[in-house]
Amino acid sequence: MFTDIGQQALTGIVVHLFFIAITWWALQALNFDKLLRSNSVLKARVLYILLTIAIGSAVSKFFLDYLVYSNQLPFMFHQG
């Protein structure tokens, strides 16, 4: 029982970090320079990090929910 919880925790951490890294990589394609003020470099970096975490977490939550739901599907057809 505790092994299953540990495996789920490890899977969740790895998936979150993976999708945050993918989001960081994908956001590199955007040019934010035209949207930001010239003297707000630190604020722009913080915004970039927060945007990366928000998008990456949302995508990883969707993926983890999908994984849980797909693992629960066999119980729908379980008899007895």
What residues does each domain of the chain span?
Answer: 2-72
57 pLDDT higher than 80: yes
Sign of CA dihedral 44, 47, 11, 67: negative
pLDDT at residue 5, as a whole number: 85
pLDDT at residue 80, as a whole number: 61
Check: pTM over 0.85? Answer yes or no: no
Which amino acid is it at 69? Answer: Y
52 pLDDT higher than 90: yes
